[in-house]
Amino acid sequence: MIRELVPEDREAIEEALTECGAFSEEEIRVALELFDAGAPGGYTLFGAEIEGRVLGYVCLAQASLTQSSWYLYWICVHPAAQGKGVGRALQAKSEEFVRSQGCRRLVLETSGRPDYCKARRFYENAGYERVGLIPDFYRPGDDCAIYSKVIE
């Protein structure tokens, strides 16, 4: 079940971020800052609840100064729920939501590192197109790959 997140979901989100193993301590801190900022801060958060546990979530926000573009800031699935289409469901919910707001473009940034290959393939398979690459953006040897998808 995909539903909007509430402040009480914070612990589950922190666990998913930690357990999924993809994020550094600093990344988890920033992800939780966005969670805490929530709707008043302009962020939309959806969680995937499975048997009463939130095991994944997505965080998005409209891109400032744009008419119809949104940023997908964070998507994370707990290892206990990976490989079950939870990421896909969160992705689909995000697109449906953006469309419901009269908007039609999702943009996201991810690492160009070899260990992010799976993440990039996930987006590519979901119809995202690479529209930019900033060399060494995160740190030397760690590029920023920018992806974008038009939601029809």
Sign of the dihedral through C-alpha 91, 9, 103, 29: negative
Residue 108 binds a copy of itself, judged by CB under 8 A: no
Among 4, 18, 67, 125, binds a copy of itself (CB under 8 A): 67
Residue 105 binds a copy of itself, judged by CB under 8 A: yes
Among 50, 62, 148, 151, binds a copy of itself (CB under 8 A): 148
| Element (DSSP H or E) covering residue 3 | strand 2-4
Residue 62 binds a copy of itself, judged by CB under 8 A: no
Residue 107 binds a copy of itself, judged by CB under 8 A: yes
From the list 38-46, 53-61, 119-127, 132-140, the region that binds a copy of itself by CB under 8 A is: 132-140
Amino acid (one-letter) located at 146: I
Question: 45: which residues sit within 8 A by CB, 6+ positions away?
Answer: 4, 5, 35, 38, 39, 57, 58, 59, 60
Count CB neighbours of 39 within 10 A.
11
Q: Which of 43, 49, 70 is nearest to 128 (CA)?
A: 70
Closer to a copy of itself by CB, 85 or 135: give it. Answer: 135
Residue 116 binds a copy of itself, judged by CB under 8 A: no
Residue 25 binds a copy of itself, judged by CB under 8 A: no
What does the binding site for a copy of itself look like in residue numbers (CB under 8 A)? Answer: 26-27, 30, 63-69, 105, 107, 131-140, 146, 148, 150
